[in-house]
Amino acid sequence: MAGPKDYITQRMKELYVYELYGLRRELKPLSRVLYNDETINCFATGVSDGLRRMLVVTDSRVIIVGNHLGSPSDIDIIPRKDIVFHGTTKKLFASSIEFTTTNGAHYLLTAVSRRVLDLFDWALDQPIRQFDE
């Protein structure tokens, strides 16, 4: 069975985003928080709160990873069932993605590649995987 890093690379290639994000330093901390049977449906990077971050949409969660030189990784995990709104704004050099959660938290990433806007919407429209508790 392939490890998390190999799975991330394979999935990036399947989603045609490897050339955009294949060498990002956020991938290492991402590999530590992925479940073995989790399916990644979207990768995106953008600026949030003045810092560059990677957003990953899986079949059950949205994971936001910030990994900056000289500081530990900053990871936010949001269950997809808690997302009540999501949207994209497509502009030539200022595209963005956003979503809001049930507790009112609003997430906005700007300076996002236009190539992943439709992928983001598609990923959040996919069925949410339910886990047995």
pLDDT tens per residue across span 90-118: 988 789 999 999 999 999 999 999 999 99
Query: What is the extent of the structural domain holding 10?
Result: 4-125
Residue 50 belongs to a domain: yes
Number of domains, the chain: 1
pLDDT tens per residue across span 47-86: 998 888 999 999 999 999 987 766 777 899 999 999 999 9
Q: Say how many residues make up the chain.
A: 133
Residue 133 belongs to a domain: no
Q: Which of 108, 51, 57, 103 is nearest to 82 (CA)?
A: 103
**Residue 84 maps to which CATH number?**
2.30.29.30
Residue 63, burial from CB neighbour count under 10 angstroms (0-12, 13-18, 19+): buried
